[in-house]
Structure 1
C-alpha cells in the first residue's frame, strides 16, 4: 500500500519505519538535516520495537498520491503542512497523529473532501540525531473521531497500522484526546528543567507541581462537560477521583505514570524540540488547558505558569533549576 507520512520526526519516523518494515511503500516529508540524512542513509529506528533501517522516498512535500496518509508534524506546523500537501490528499483517509485538541478539527476544515480521523500515539520516541529515531517506551496508538463509535475509516486505518505497531480504533475519541492531554502534563517540566520525565515525576519538589497542573486540567475538562476516554491506564472514573482528591493523594497518578515509562530516560517531545532549537508545542498542551478554561470564563493559573516558563526557556536557552521552579510556583500551590 502507498502510505505517506507528513513529518518524519520522532512519532512520524517511528510510524514510517515500522510500516516500511511490514512491506508498505512509504514516502515521508522532512526538512533540513533530517531530510538529508534520510536520503543518504535511510530512516534508522531502534529501541523498544527493534532495529530497522527504512529506505523510503523523502522530500519536503509528498511527491506521489498516497492511499493513506499520516500527519505527524508538531501541532503548530500542522496547518501549513496540510496546505502544502492538500492537492494529493483529497478523497483519501488522513490520520492526524498529534498532541492537543485542535489537530483533527483543523484537518477536517482544510480537507473537506477527505476522510479525516485522529490518532493518539501513547508510545515514547526520541529524535535525537538526524535520520535516527529511538523508541524509549512501547505503547498503543488509538484512532477515532468524535464522541461516538469509531468511523469505518478509523477502523481500517487502525487495522493497517496494527500490523506494524499496536493500534486500536476507539469510541469517544474526543474524550480520549482529553485524557491524552492529561498524560501530556508530564511534558512541561522536562522542558523547563532539562531533566527526564521520570526524574521530574519522581522529584519531591516538582511532582506536587505536576500533580497540581494535572488536577487543574481535569477540573477544566469536567467543567467543559468532557467524558474522559480510557487510555494509558487512565479513565473517567480515575481522573474524576484525581480532580476531587487532596494533592498529596492525587500524586499517586504521576508516580504510576513514571512507572509506566520504564527505566529508559524519556525527555518528552517538548524538551526534544527545545534541544533542537525549535519552538515547542506547549501552547497546544498546557496552553490548551488555559484556552479551554478561558472559553468558559475560568482560569488555569498553574498551566498558564508552566506555559510561561517553557516560553522563558525557549527565549533564554537556559533551563531553570527545580528549586527555582518550586519557589516561583509556590504561591499558586498554596491556593
Structure 2
C-alpha cells in the first residue's frame, strides 16, 4: 500500500492518479483524515481527460494509517519536513520507504537524519499542479517525475497510472536542475500574474536569468553535475530567458505550455496566507554560495523582497521593470 502524507496539490494529484489506476492509496493527515477528500477526488492530467476517484477507492486516515504502508510519498511543505519525519518514525514500519516529492533542497537530509538514509529516496516533480476546487487536482504544466533508483517499483506504478516517471542515478543533479526552474517561484509571487503572462515580461525573465546563472555557478563550484529535465537543458536557461520576447516565445514553446490559471506554488502560498518555502529554494543557493565563495547578489535581493512581501501578506504586483529597479537598489544601497 502507498500512503500519501501531505494531500496538497502534488500529493493529491499523484495519489489520485495512482488510485485511479487501481493502486491502493491511503491519504494521511498529520492531525486526522484529510476532510477535503471525503467525497472522493478528481485528477486531470496534462492534455488528458478528468478522472473521477470515488471515495470507496481511497482511504483517508490520521497518522495511524502509516502503519500498513510499504511506501510513503512525502508531499508536505519543506517547513513541515522535520515534523513529518517524527510522525513517520512514530507510526510507520521501519521497513517503509519514504520518497520525498518536495520542492527545494535539504528535505532528504532532514528525513535521513531522523529515519536513516537507507529508507529515504529523493524525488523530483517537474510539473505544476493547481487546485481549482478542494477535491480537484489539475496538472497545469508539462513535465515528469524522477526518483532515485531504490524507488524503481514506484516509478513503474506511476508510469502505469499515466504519470511520466523514471528513475535517475544523479538525483542531486536533478534536484539542482529543478531548483534553477523553481527560482521563478518567488518572482511569480512578486508579480501577482498568471505564470504564462509573467513569462512574457522580458524584465522578469532577465531577473530569472540572473538567478539561474548564479545558481549554475554555485553548482559548478560544488562539483554538481546538472541534469537535463525533459525538454529543459538547465545550463542554457539563462540565455533562453534573456532572449527578446518574440524569439523566446518560439524557442521556449515547451516551457510556455502552461494552463492559463497556473501560478507557482509560492504564489499560491502567498495568496493562502501560508509561509513561503524560500529558505529551501533561493535560500539554499545563497547558503551554498557563501560556503563555496560564489556571490549570489540577485538571489539575495530577491530573498529580501520576498520576505518583505510575505510579511505584508499580499503581492505587490510589480512589473518586471520595477522589480529590476528595486533589486538594483538592494544590490547597491545608497
Question: If the TM-score is normalised by the length of the shorter chain, which range does it land in?
Answer: 0.7 to 0.9
The aligned residue for residue 154 of structure 2 is 157
Matched, 1:273 2:269: yes
| Structure 1 counterpart of 2:85, from 79, 82, 86 | 82
The aligned residue for residue 295 of structure 1 is 291
Deviation at 1:99, TM superposition (A): 1.5
Q: Partners in 2 of 1:212 and 1:113 — Cα distance?
A: 34
Aligned pairs for 1:312-323 (under 5 A) are 312-320=308-316, 321-322=318-319, 323=321
Q: Partners in 2 of 1:311 and 1:258 — Cα distance?
A: 32
CA contact 2:278–2:303 (8 Å) conserved in 1: yes
The aligned residue for residue 147 of structure 1 is none
Q: Partners in 2 of 1:247 and 1:3 — Cα distance?
A: 39
CA contact 2:188–2:263 (8 Å) conserved in 1: yes
The aligned residue for residue 100 of structure 2 is 96
Deviation at 1:47, TM superposition (A): 4.9
Which whole-Å deviations, capped at 9, do the CAs of 1:43-102 have from their partners, x for residues lacking one? 222352432233222234242421111101111111211211223141122111111121
Q: Could you state the TM-score of these two structures normalised by the residue count of structure 1?
A: 0.86
- SS at the partner of 2:315? coil
CA contact 2:205–2:241 (8 Å) conserved in 1: no
Q: Quick one: structure 1 residues 255 and 110, their matched pair in 2 at CA, closer, same or farther if it must change by over 3 Å? A: farther
Aligned alpha-carbon RMSD (Å): 2.8
CA contact 2:231–2:254 (8 Å) conserved in 1: no
Q: Could you state the TM-score of these two structures normalised by the residue count of structure 2?
A: 0.87
Deviation at 1:248, TM superposition (A): 4.2
Which whole-Å deviations, capped at 9, do the CAs of 1:295-329 have from their partners, x for residues lacking one? 22333121111122222221112322214322201
CA contact 2:131–2:137 (8 Å) conserved in 1: yes
Q: Quick one: structure 1 residues 127 and 247, their matched pair in 2 at CA, closer, same or farther if it must change by over 3 Å? A: closer
| Structure 2 counterpart of 1:116, from 93, 115, 120 | 120
- SS at the partner of 2:52? strand
| Structure 2 counterpart of 1:311, from 307, 311, 317 | 307
Q: Which runs of 5+ in 2 are unaligned?
A: none
The aligned residue for residue 60 of structure 2 is 58
| Structure 2 counterpart of 1:282, from 256, 278, 281 | 278
Deviation at 1:232, TM superposition (A): 3.2
Number of aligned pairs?
Answer: 321
Deviation at 1:263, TM superposition (A): 4.1
